Amino acid sequence: MSDFFQNGIITTLHNLGNRSAESLEAELCGFAEQRPMNLVLPCLYSELEQPALARIVSELAQVPYLADIIIGLDRADEAQFRHALSYFSALPQCHHVLWNDGPRLQAVQRKLSDEGFAPPEPGKGANVWRCFGYVQALGTAKAVALHDCDITTYDRSLLARLIYPVANPAFAYQLCKGYYARVADGKLNGRVCRLLVSPLIRTMKELANGHHYLDYLDTFRYPLAGEFAVQSDVLHGLRIPADWSLEIGLLSEVYRNYATNRICQVEVADSYDHKHQDLSAEDASRGLSRMSLDISKALFKKLATYGIVFEPGTIRTAKACYYRIALDLIESYASDAAMNGLALDRHAEEQAVELFATNLLKAGEAYLEGGEEIPFMPSWHRVTSVYRNVYDDLLAAVAADAADFG
C-alpha cells in the first residue's frame, strides 16, 4: 500500500488499496458516454509468441468501456500479419491492426517521406506516432491510453487506473503518467531509471542551477514508464522522438504545452515486470547502452532549448558529477533492497553506472558535434496542413489490409 505524500510539482494519484477494478470500470463506463476511450498497443510480431501478450489480450477482452483498440504491428510479413489478425480477433471491442511493414502503409510512408515527414527509422517511437495519427483519423476518442505488450504482470486494473484521470470529466488532466515499483522475482529492477535517469536529472540540476523543467522531471516516480494516457486534443500538436527517448520526449513536450497542474502520475500496479533488455556494453546500437545514449542526448538537446549552454568542459563535469551521484544512489538502493529482502548485485550495478557514465560523455560529444538533426517527428497538425488526405489514406490502408487478409 502506498502513502499519500505529494512530493513535487505535479499531482500524484496513489493506490491506497480501496478500489476494485470492477468499481473503477463501472465509473469508466459512465464516463465513456461523454469521453469515448481508445487504447493504443505498439507491438512487435515476436510479442505474439510470448505469454505476456496472451495474458494482456485475455484481460482486455473483459474491459467494457473502450471504443476502439489500435494495434501498431511492427516486423511482420504477410503470413505473420494474417496470424496477427486472427490473434487479436479474440478482442470483442472494435479493433484495428496497423501492418506497418505492409505495402499499403509503406505507400503512405513514402508520401510522408516525400514531404519530409516520415519517421527517420522504424521503432517504437515511429509505431506510436503512426498509431496516434490513426487515432485522430478515427476521430472516436476523447481519452487515449497506451501501454506496452510485454507486461508479464498485467491485469486490467492497470488500464482502468491509467485512463481514469483523463477520462473523468470532473478532472482537468491532459496527461496521466503511470508508475509502479519495478520489483519482481525477489530483485530490484529498473536499472536505466534508477541508475541513469534519476542521477542524470540531479546532475543537470547542479549544472543548470535547478531549472524548473528538471524539478518537473524529478517529480516523476518512474519517468521511463511506457504507460500513459492523454486527452485526445493533446495528440494533434504532439511531437515525439523516434528513438528510445520516447518517454522523456513525451514528458518534455507536454511540459512545454501545458501547465503542470494539468499533468499527473498514477500508481497503476503494486509491482510490474516485463522483458528485460541486455546491458549490451559491447554494442552501443542495442539494449540499455543504446537507450542510455538516446536519453542522454535528448536531455542535452532539451536543456539547450531553455538557453543552457554546454561546452566540452561542461560535458566532462557532467560525467564526473553523474558518476558520484549514481554511486551514492547504489548505496541507497542496496540498503532498500536489504531491508526488503531483495537481491541486488552491487558489481552489476556499478558496471551499469560505468557504462552509463561513458555513454553520457559520448552523448555530450555527439551533441556538441551535431546540431543539424531534427530531434522530434513532426506533429500531426503540421502533417495534415501539407498532406491533407493523410487521415483518409491511413483509414483506407488499414481497412483494405483487414479485408484482404482477415
3-class DSSP state of 403 = helix
> Which single residue is written with the C-alpha cell 487506473?
161
User: In the chain, where are the structural domains located?
Assistant: 11-405
Number of H helices, E strands in the chain: 16, 10
The pLDDT of residue 374: 56
Residue pair 5/265 in contact by the 8 Å Cβ criterion: no
The pLDDT of residue 395: 98
Which distant-in-sequence residues (6+ apart) come within 8 Å of 230 by Cβ? 143, 144, 166, 174, 175, 176, 238, 254
Burial category of 172 from C-beta neighbours within 10 Å (exposed 0-12, middle 13-18, buried 19 and up): middle
The pLDDT of residue 312: 92
The pLDDT of residue 372: 53
Burial category of 356 from C-beta neighbours within 10 Å (exposed 0-12, middle 13-18, buried 19 and up): buried
The pLDDT of residue 358: 95
Residue pair 162/228 in contact by the 8 Å Cβ criterion: yes
Query: Does domain 11-405 fall into CATH 3.40.470.10?
Result: no
Bridge partners of residue 145, in order along the sequence: 39, 229
Ranges of the chain with pLDDT below 50? none
> Which single residue is written with the C-alpha cell 538516446?
294
Residue pair 173/265 in contact by the 8 Å Cβ criterion: no
Distance, C-alpha 299 to centroid of its chain: 16
The pLDDT of residue 188: 87
**Within 232-311, where are the H helices?**
232-236, 246-257, 287-305
The pLDDT of residue 193: 93
For the chain, how many residues are written?
406
| pLDDT, tens digit, 9 for 90 and up, residues 39-90 | 999 999 999 999 999 999 999 999 999 999 999 999 999 999 999 999 999 9
